[in-house]
Amino acid sequence: ITLLFNRTIMKRSLKGRRFFLITGGALLFAAILYFSLAFRQKPASDSRLLLTMIMEGINSVHYSPHPVNDSFSYKIFQEYLKRVDFNKKIFNRKDIDELSSYRFSIDDEINDSSYAFFDAVMKIYSVRLNQAYRYSKMALADPLDFSADENIETDGDKLEYPADSLSQKNEWRKYMKLQVLQQLNEKVNTQEKARAKSDTVKVRTYDQLEENARAAVKKSNEEYFSRVNELERIDWLGIYLDCISNVEDPHTEYFAPVNKQNFDIQMSGQLEGIGAQLQQKDGEIKITSIVPGSASWRQGKLKANDVIQKVGQGSQEPVNVEGMRLDKAIQLIRGKKGTEVRLTVKKPDGTILVVPIIRDVVVIEATYAQSALIHSNGNKIGYIRLPEFYAPVDQRGGRSCSDDVKKELQKLKSENVLGIILDLRDNGGGSLQEAVKLGGLFIKSGPVVQVRQRGGRANVLSDSDPEIIYDGPLTIMVNENSASASEIIAAAMQDYHRAVVIGSRTTYGKGTVQNFYNLDNLVSHQQSSAPVLGSIKITIQKFYRVNGGSTQLRGVTPDIILPDPYAEIPNGEKENKYAIKWDEIPPAIFEPWKAGYSYDKLRAGSEKRMSSSNAFQLIQEEARDFKERSENTMYPLSYKKYSDLQKILNDKEKKYEAILSDTGLVAVSNLPADLARVNADSVSIARNNQFFKNLKKDIYISEAATVVGEMK
């Protein structure tokens, strides 16, 4: 089968090669499973069959599968314990010592399709969970004294497992004390603000506020343990199998049937919600992306990598969603248009923030390419924002990002712009085919990206259309959340010397491609009633730049690096210890563009402006501050010290908000060709106003426009 597909691939078109690369892997996977399962002596149970299928699937089509040995076993041992008890509040040191006997035998269990380690963990977990529940209730039974000078570490990686039950009880006491302290501080501040606005506010004493805060935490705590107790063996089994898959690489994942749906859920389209994509990892519900044009996007404070801790309906008491199943958390976050949801989120730097959002219907049009005219130093510069690499969903038509960008380029050319800015910030990727076609808009013809699967030669994906839609000065904007297809375009245009890439220190660094396999479909021939097995997503290919280097881990380093608030906080693919490594292959044959400008001069000019810009200097200060705050995960449990710390953090937050206070920083206008469309109705007008509101205060666009002027 491998030989057949390798020979066939070489004879196919670009689209055909991609089809056979993926389909060939799927059929190979299916064939291996068919023969391995068909000749088994005894029928396996669903869970044993599931483990067999996952491992044989990974071994057959994964780009670089790990050998199933003692090293693999130890990684699973560490990872699963972390996911089950991410903040080291359930197990104690004796439990870990007892489970350590499985450290180097999980590989043998996998080969035998058995679950001895998993069952041992779950047996101890059920006992310790009930014990933890009792400790948490005891900690909230009486009024808490916040005058004592003590601290609590909140980073699970920095904590040690409690030595015994007494130590564990004390850890739960401090943990619950922190929860009450956060509530108390918020209630005190809310009351003070209300008193400043009105003399008729009913003032509660400190003791009354402490009692209210403790009651709120009691309720939240009961809900938390109730949710965890709702989890069944099949739920934990899904986490365990996903853990095994993730040890291969972070993008190889197992999805139980319900989790497959949850993974794809985006509160967008016609859903009335906030417009955020969520993912559950290590007991936390994390924002993976914000849908452009959505309620969250317009509100502006919710960002990718924020962790949702609580969800409140308007002024109602918020519900703790830590440990909650993703589908249930989403039900709390969703709601009718016009209603308010209040999300308590933990920022990457550790700051706790309450983000109020008015739910709305997500505007799909805002995810499409948009353009504007930027007026800088007497010049007209074209601006195109591309939020994602979208493609037609079927053969009957649909929007294509390459076609849309082509139209915007043609409109901008008719305005005789000096140059063009292509904004790929926060663009997480999408269609590979569209990325290749989009790259072809700026070059005559030639390779755009190289793709390689396991054991195969690199497949060069090229633009074959000799037409150049735009050949003038081009700047591509990226940041640390620009990934996959965005990195392909930025890398290709950089290698061709076709554009100046400008942005954060580096892009995300995801240089791999995955494919989904429905496990039920692969065994339906064996029995009339196939088990509900779920799906597995497997990394099957790797991207390479036309210069031969991989975008994996290293991403794309901009030609001009601008200060970024999160520049000092570890982020991206390289932060995952199981990520596939960087490597390189021979470069493709391509002819670089003959740039009429000096990269060194452009870089020197930008650096000079950065050094004299108050806004960019403030961003650099913010980055240093964020780094310090992210590393300081120890919190005081004294009310005065905690309150003083929060005041300092709030003051800094206000200080950094001043960066975006100048709403007239960038002069922008609509293209004349777009005026009829953007003024068609009130919805279009509001959407356009929001688009321009963000552009006008974007200092990064202002700098990019200046660079374009210097390129000319």
Active site residues: 484, 495, 510
Q: Could you give the C-alpha distances from 253 to 242, 244, 376, in angstroms and in order? A: 5, 8, 47
Using left for φ > 0, alpha for ψ between -120 and 50, and beta otherwise, residue 377 falls in left
- Determine contact, residues 414/452, Cβ cutoff 8 Å: no
DSSP E strands, 465-589: 474-478, 500-503, 512-518, 535-544, 560-561
The C-alpha atoms of residue 375 and residue 667 are separated, in whole angstroms, by 5
Q: What angle do CA 183, 187, 193 make, to 5 degrees?
A: 145
Q: What angle do CA 358, 429, 626 make, to 5 degrees?
A: 60
Burial of residue 115 (CB within 10 Å: 0-12, 13-18, 19+) is buried
Residue indicated by tokens 């969703």? 334
- Specify the pairing of strand 307-313 against strand 284-290: antiparallel
Q: Which helix (H) or strand (E) holds 376?
A: strand 370-376
The C-alpha atoms of residue 347 and residue 353 are separated, in whole angstroms, by 7
- Determine contact, residues 630/348, Cβ cutoff 8 Å: yes
Residue 519 structure tokens:
């496990």
Q: How many other C-beta atoms are found inside a 10 Å radius of the C-beta of residue 587?
A: 16
With helix as H, strand as E and coil as C, how does 311-329 read? Answer: EEECCCCCEECCCCCHHHH
What one-character DSSP code corresponds to residue 574?
Answer: G
The identity of residue 485, as a single letter, is: A
- Coil vs helix vs strand at 12: coil
The C-alpha atoms of residue 643 and residue 152 are separated, in whole angstroms, by 15
- Determine contact, residues 121/95, Cβ cutoff 8 Å: no
What one-character DSSP code corresponds to residue 366?
Answer: G
Report which of 90, 228, 224 is spatially closest to residue 168, judged by C-alpha positions: 90
Burial of residue 167 (CB within 10 Å: 0-12, 13-18, 19+) is middle
The C-alpha atoms of residue 208 and residue 690 are separated, in whole angstroms, by 43
The C-alpha atoms of residue 306 and residue 64 are separated, in whole angstroms, by 31
What one-character DSSP code corresponds to residue 662?
Answer: -
Q: Could you give the C-alpha distances from 377 to 409, 423, 505, 615, 663, in angstroms and in order? A: 21, 20, 27, 19, 18
The C-alpha atoms of residue 481 and residue 303 are separated, in whole angstroms, by 11
**Greatest extent of the chain over all pairs of C-alpha atoms, in Å:** 83
